[in-house]
Structure 1
Amino acid sequence: MTTLFQAPGACSLAPLIALHIAEIAHDTVNVDLRAHKLADGGDYFAINPKGAVPALKVDDGEVLTENAVLLQYIADQAPASDLIPVSGLERYRQLELLNYIATEVHKGFGPLFNPATLPEARQTANDALGKKFTFLATKLQSNGFLAGAKLTAADAYFFTVLRWTDMFKIDLSPWPAIVAYRQRVASQPSVVAALKEEGLGG
């Protein structure tokens, strides 16, 4: 059985959404990221030495980490789901989006999660994220989702990190396409199911 190690509210929501889109049977295990402990008291470092979520234990017992990799792995287990195209330039365009979200958007929130970050640095981080949102909004002007008319791995990831704007009180109104997009993704049955399983709701 595929097992996802997750923390509610963390970036592990992205592969959880992907597992629902792909209709892959799975278990989830919550991780206390402060203590790096599992619910049963087990040492999470023994599963993922990086100490972060997500981690995905696959059927043969191997453990994979890093969101962009997990999303590719899940997509490849269920090619009919169209999470990521199986070949051709469109596959690389999707991977391009995944890596942009991972390295520019996801990591762009890093200073905001650090309580020691000074107000000026927080504003700089907010401004930088705004530029990333402006770029991604252009992808939505003619498409319902980032890569076309269907929910993909890139949407699972971008939607997940977009939810952090609530935590940090980032106003998305300058990007109406993103506001509408977030609502559109949140209403997808696979996303509703993943949010319910995560335990935090929409």
Structure 2
Amino acid sequence: MKLYYTPGFCSLSPHIVLHELGGQFDVERVDVETKTTETGADFRAINPKGYVPALRLGDGEVLTEGAAIVQYLADSNGARRLAPEPGTLARARLQEQLNFIASELHKAFAPLFRGATGEAKDAAVATVGQRLDHMEKQFADGRAYLLGDHFSVADAYLFVVASWTGPTGIGFAQWPRLAAFVERVRERPSVKAAMAAEGLA
């Protein structure tokens, strides 16, 4: 199995999950500007969407979209602490979190990474702030992770996206619980290993 990634992008989430699982896997870096991999392959031939992550399975099948990849990894390894049993309310709650992070929080950062300025930048910062307000409230009951006391694939994704408050200059001043969550997750061996492998630590 091989994960195609770009350092610091959302592909860091399945990279973390792979380290959580502890099995054998390969990684290959992708230049998202040229759409080529570190071995010179045309990434669009691997993932026609042209963006990371992509996971090549042992039989050659390629799976894309981070939320789908992390659930597949957990399910195929029987890692119920990372993703509850399909068909349960707990699993629906996991998908609820993954969908919000992907469609609302992740996408809200896009204008900031595309160089938005002026009113467009202000609007994007405001939208990110609203989404972070929602995530901050998730931890108001004292839970350690999104689903409670156990780290899940949704936490890996939230860790990555919430960390983008750093390079965008938004910071965590208004979201202390979320800041504490990010620091808690950063200390996991899987996170340290994935970040070191991507040259982020």
The two structures have a TM-score, normalised by structure 2, of 0.95
Q: Gapped runs of 5+ residues in structure 2?
A: none
* CA distance in 1 between partners of 2:85 and 2:22 (Å): 17
What is the identity, as a one-letter code, of the residue corresponding to 1:48?
N
What is the identity, as a one-letter code, of the residue corresponding to 1:50?
K
- Give the superposition deviation at 1:3: 0.3
Write out aligned runs for 1:14-53 (5 A).
14-53=13-52
Partner of 1:158: 158
- Give the superposition deviation at 1:138: 1.4
Q: Is the 8 A contact 1:112 1:168 kept in 2?
A: yes
SS at match of 2:2: strand
- Give the superposition deviation at 1:143: 0.5
Sequence identity of aligned pairs in percent? 42
Q: Gapped runs of 5+ residues in structure 1?
A: none
* CA distance in 1 between partners of 2:163 and 2:118 (Å): 21
Tell me, yes or no, if structure 1 residue 13 matches structure 2 residue 1: no
Deviations 1:38-70 (A, max 9, x none): 112111111111110000001111001001111
Partner of 1:176: 176
Instruction: Report the aligned-residue RMSD.
Output: 1.1
Q: 1:11 to 1:128 in 2, by over 3 A?
A: same
SS at match of 1:182: helix
SS at match of 2:26: strand
What is the identity, as a one-letter code, of the residue corresponding to 1:103?
S
- Give the superposition deviation at 1:81: 5.0
Write out aligned runs for 1:52-67 (5 A).
52-67=51-66
Deviations 1:89-123 (A, max 9, x none): 000000100000000000111111112x2321111
Partner of 1:92: 92
Could you list the runs of 4 or more consecutive aligned residues of structure 1 that deviate by over 6 angstroms after TM superposition? none
Partner of 1:114: 114
* CA distance in 2 between partners of 1:81 and 1:197 (Å): 26
